[in-house]
Structure 1
Amino acid sequence: MQLQLKKYRLQLKHTFTISRESHDFQDSIVVGLSEDSVTGYGESTSNPYYNITQGSLENEINTVRNEIEKHEFTNPDNFYELLNSLELTNFAKCALDLAANDLYGKLLGKPLYKIWGTSSYKYPITNFTIGIADVDTMVAKMKEQPWPIYKIKLGTADDVALVTELRKHTDAIFRVDANCAWSAEETIQNSSALKDLGVEFIEQPLKASNWEGMRSVINASQLPIIADESCILPEDVSKCHGHFTGINIKLTKCGGLTPARKMITEARSLDLKVMVGCMTESSVGISAIAQLTPQLDYVDMDGALLLKEDIASGIQINADGSLIFPKTGGSGIHLL
């Protein structure tokens, strides 16, 4: 197996702001794994919240290059056993695991969703994310990108007033994401007003460690509550039961498609709703997420739509949110 690494700085169309940070670009690492002249691709992005940089990803993957290139590749599960034996962050595992899954499907000539026994006939529509800004800017972004579902990033001085103003300009479904910025009391109070404003659910309102607060919220909220920062690893899924309505899985944070599929299975067993989200990846990462959509209740895979210029082809997202799945195997990724 041959390993290739490519570094990219992905320029965003607009400054993207959440409750704790703003950025105009996203650093990304794309991994290529090749076997028999076939290459699978995977991606992971930098993330200051988790102390992940492009340089740290490059260094740790290069550190285990020999072990990876000596590996006798048979399937992604076998390859993930190797990854678990190495000292890698989940972000690095994600890029390698996505590449291994894409490679496996390409070698078999089948898309991953078919290999997993699912169908592309039914899938949730992705939301389009509107980052925090002044009201006029947020409205302008919605008008620039008409969409059936918007995720509104919150954490301002008056979030309900902000959503009230945005609602005047669209009939689209709203989802809101406070990125840990609220208290339990705020969440309970906001949930009633936001429900009246056509909000579908609230994502991660409290700090990730505030399980006691989440218990009080889930018992009193007028809206479903989806875990994000509180649900990173497979072992976190069971903790979310009784504290959240559902979970938002991020491939970069959990370590790729392989652990994500286990998280989906466990969440279903606990009657939790399942969402998969993105971290402003290019179509390399987004195309991998798309293969999971038949198994999901909600999806946030708008990362490539937020970029000025994409670096790959794969899944196509139409203006109405519908998908055109690649005909090639794996995740169907090709670098441009």
Structure 2
Amino acid sequence: MKLILRQYNLKLKHTFTISRESIQTQPSLIVELQSEDFSGYGEATSNPYYNITVPMMIQDLEKIRVLIESSDNESPEDFWALAYSYLKHDMFALCALDIAFTDLYARKKGKKLYQLWDYSTEKNVLTDYTIGIASIEKMLSKMQELPWPIYKIKLGTAEDIAIVKELRKHTDAIFRIDANCGWGVEETINNAVELKKLGVEFLEQPIKADDWKAHKEVFKHSVLPIIADESCILEEDVAKCHNHFHGVNIKLVKCGGLTPARRMIQESKKLGMKTMVGCMTESTVGISAIAHLLPQLDYVDMDGALLLAEDIATGVTIENGKVSYSDLNGTGVTLI
């Protein structure tokens, strides 16, 4: 098996702002694994919040190149366990590697990922489309640029309720709110009351990640469901989030790929929590991997490639929130 690493700098259509940062480009690493006449593709993007850069991921994968290239016939689960023993300090690199290997494995089997896992895609949920923090005029402009059935609205400003009230005047779409750790306990509880009146479905990670006492308080008193994001990184975090959140937003790059994400989804279901998978402004490479988890999800945020000025791959397509799969096997990805 041959390992190929490619760096990209993904340009966004618009400056993307959340409560803690603004970006115009997104550095990304694409991992390709070649075996026989097949290629599998995986992706992970850099992230300053988690202190991850593309050069760091490349360095970590190069250190185990011999191990990777001497592996070929393992199951994705066995390969992930082996790679994890060397990459447990860099889950982003592990994610890109795991997606690529799983993609390659499925292509060799002549199956799409959801077929490999025996998932039915008949009742797939719709993806939201994210509106980053900006002036109300710019947020409205982004909504009008792409009419959508569900919007995820980034908040964490002094005018959050006023923003949502104004946006609501212009659409009947479902709203989801992501404050990215930008609120306090009372602020969250009070905002939930007002936001519920405005057709908001749930709140995502309103409180800073490690304040579990605050999460518990919000969980008890919020009139809207609360979904964990920054508080749910690794597999063991799902149990910690139980009785502190109503659901979890699993990110492939944070947990180390598709293999652990599937286990986290099952654990969440066992605990009676809502399941969600989110993206990190990946290209269609990463988004196509997420798409095959849709049959197991209550919510999904997989609009990353839609935010790009120019994509680097083909794979799944999304129209009005609905995902359509490629005719190709595996994740269905081809690099452009």
If the length of structure 1 is used for normalisation, what is the TM-score? 0.98
Mapped partners of 1:55, 1:123: distance in 2: 36
Q: Which amino acid aligns with 1:41?
A: Y
1:28: which partner in 2? 28
Counterpart residue identity of residue 18, structure 1: I
For 1:2 and 1:240, how far apart are their aligned partners in 2?
39
The more displaced of 60-69 and 137-146 is 60-69
Deviations 1:74-114, CA, capped at 9 Å, x for gaps: 32112112212214500000000000111011111111111
Correspondences of 1:98-247 after superposition (within 5 Å) = 98-247=99-248
Whole-angstrom distance in 2 between the partners of 1:148 and 1:215: 31
1:276 is aligned to 277
Provide the C-alpha distance between the structure 2 equivalents of 1:83 and 1:221, rounded to a whole number of angstroms. 40
> What's 2:328 paired with?
328
Instruction: Give the Cα–Cα distance (whole angstroms) in 2 for the partners of residues 122 and 71 of structure 1.
Output: 36
Q: Secondary structure at the match of 2:326?
A: coil
1:246-298 CA-to-partner distances (Å, cap 9, x unmatched) read 00000000000000000001000000000000000000000000000010000
Give me the whole-angstrom Cα distance separating, in 2, the residues matched to 1:32 and 1:72.
13
Alignment partners' CA distance in 2, 1:272 and 1:32:
34
1:38 aligns with 38
Aligned structure 1 segments of 4 or more residues deviating by more than 6 angstroms:
none
User: 2:315 aligned with 1:314, yes or no?
Assistant: yes
- The alpha-carbon deviation at position 60 of structure 1 amounts to 1.0
Q: Secondary structure at the match of 1:86?
A: helix
Aligned partners of 1:72, 1:112: CA distance in 2, in Å? 18
1:75 equivalent in structure 2? 75
Task: For 1:85 and 1:179, locate their aligned partners in 2 and report how far apart those are by CA, in whole Å.
Answer: 31
**C-alpha separation in 1, matches of 2:259 and 2:334:** 21
Asked if the contact 1:9–1:26 (Cα under 8 Å) also holds between the matched residues in 2, the reply is yes
1:73 CA drift (Å): 2.7
Number of equivalenced pairs? 335
1:327 Cα shift? 2.0
Contact 2:152 2:177 in 1 (8 A): yes
Q: Does 1:57 align with 2:57?
A: yes
Is residue 131–residue 151 contact of structure 2 (8 Å, CA) maintained in 1? yes
Hey, what does 2:254 align to over in structure 1? Answer: 253
Shift of 1:241: 0.7
- Hey, what's the Cα distance between the residues in 2 that align with 1:110 and 1:120? 14
Q: C-alpha separation between the residues in 2 aligned to 1:219 and 1:271?
A: 16
Query: CA offsets, 1:207-242, max 9 Å, x none?
Result: 001110111111110100000000000000001110
Indicate if the aligned counterparts of 1:181 and 1:206 stay in contact, CA closer than 8 A.
yes
- Name the SS of the counterpart of 1:237 in structure 2: helix
Runs of 5+ in structure 1 lacking a partner?
none
- For residues 74 and 65 of structure 2, the distance between their equivalents in structure 1, rounded to whole angstroms, comes to 18
Counterpart amino acid of 1:321? Answer: G
- Give the AA of the match of 1:52: I
Amino acid at match of 1:228: D
Amino acid at match of 1:200: E
Whether contact under 8 Å (2:249, 2:278) holds in the other structure is yes
Distance in 1 (CA, whole Å) between partners of 2:30 and 2:294 is 22
What letter matches 1:149 in structure 2? I
Q: Distance in 1 between matches of 2:117 and 2:204?
A: 28
RMSD of aligned Cα (Å): 0.8
Identity value in percent: 59
In 1, the alpha carbon distance for the partners of 2:78 and 2:220 equals: 42
Contact 1:109 1:328 in 2 (8 A): no
Q: Tell me how far 1:67 sits from its aligned partner.
A: 1.1
Question: In structure 2, what is the Cα distance between the partners aligned to 1:259 and 1:4?
Answer: 23
* 3-state secondary structure, aligned to 1:331: coil
Q: Post-superposition shift, 1:70?
A: 1.3
